[in-house]
Chain A
Amino acid sequence: DQQVKQNSPSLSVQEGRISILNCDYTNSMFDYFLWYKKYPAEGPTFLISISSIKDKNEDGRFTVFLNKSAKHLSLHIVPSQPGDSAVYFCAARNSGTYKYIFGTGTRLKVLA
């Protein structure tokens, strides 16, 4: 049973526009969420996180939104750049545990 779902395996966006990556979760005990970016032949790199006490966290071009009632989070990248082309994973955990559950990833392609 997939507790963290990224239903879009891929996304293409024009350079300069907004990229929106989505993630849904089923476990209401999750209270800490992260986004990772992964380039080919490299490990996932931490991008941004959000705690369940917030509904938004921003870091430069990257903003994560959390909708607890819908059990949904999204990552917004504005403006998108070709260097943002990568696979993006969301991950979630209950802060009482150590184990992160990862989504299956969304491949973002930013077109120049």
Chain B
Amino acid sequence: DAGVIQSPRHEVTEMGQEVTLRCKPISGHNSLFWYRQTMMRGLELLIYFNNNVPIDDSGMPEDRFSAKMPNASFSTLKIQPSEPRDSAVYFCASSLGQVNQPQHFGDGTRLSIL
């Protein structure tokens, strides 16, 4: 079975540019999570979707960050405008609802903002 697929794997762009990260969750999973990993703060939850609906976006750092899930098989995380402090590895994860099921992670997007 295909796991969670993220693209691109690496993104290098200049400050001020728009960045879009993409995620395809595991088929049949109805919960999707976006995380950011940094040395300073570890793995932080940015936003959680259940059945394509954003449930909790309290982890989104500021208005420059937005996320969408137009259907069950696709989600995007957008940063506009990007800043150097947004440089991090961004992970997408999916799971089967709210029962005690583990989250399955993609391989991440390493984002560098110059």
Contacts and interface: CB of A to CB of B under 8 A. Distances in A.
B42 A42 contact: no
Contacts of B48: 98-99
Q: Is the interface of B mostly helix, strand, loop or mixed?
A: strand
B4 A43 contact: yes
Interface stretch (A12-20, A55-63, A102-110): A102-110
Contacts of B100: 32, 49, 51, 95
Nearest to B108: A43
A46 B103 contact: yes
Contacts of A43: 4, 91, 93, 105-108
A98 B98 contact: yes
A89 interface: yes
Contacts of B4: 43
A41 interface: yes
B56 A99 contact: yes
B102 interface: yes
Contact of A45 (B55, B56, B105): B105
Interface string A59-103: 000000000000000000000000000000100000100111011
Interface of A: 32, 34, 36, 41-46, 49, 51, 89, 95, 98-100, 102-105
Contacts, number: 43
Given A89-B43, A104-B42, A98 B107 contact: no
Contacts of A105: 42
Nearest to B104: A46
Nearest to A48: B102
Nearest to A43: B105
A32 B100 CA distance: 7
B53 interface: no
A103 B42 contact: yes
A34 B102 CA distance: 7
Contacts of A103: 42
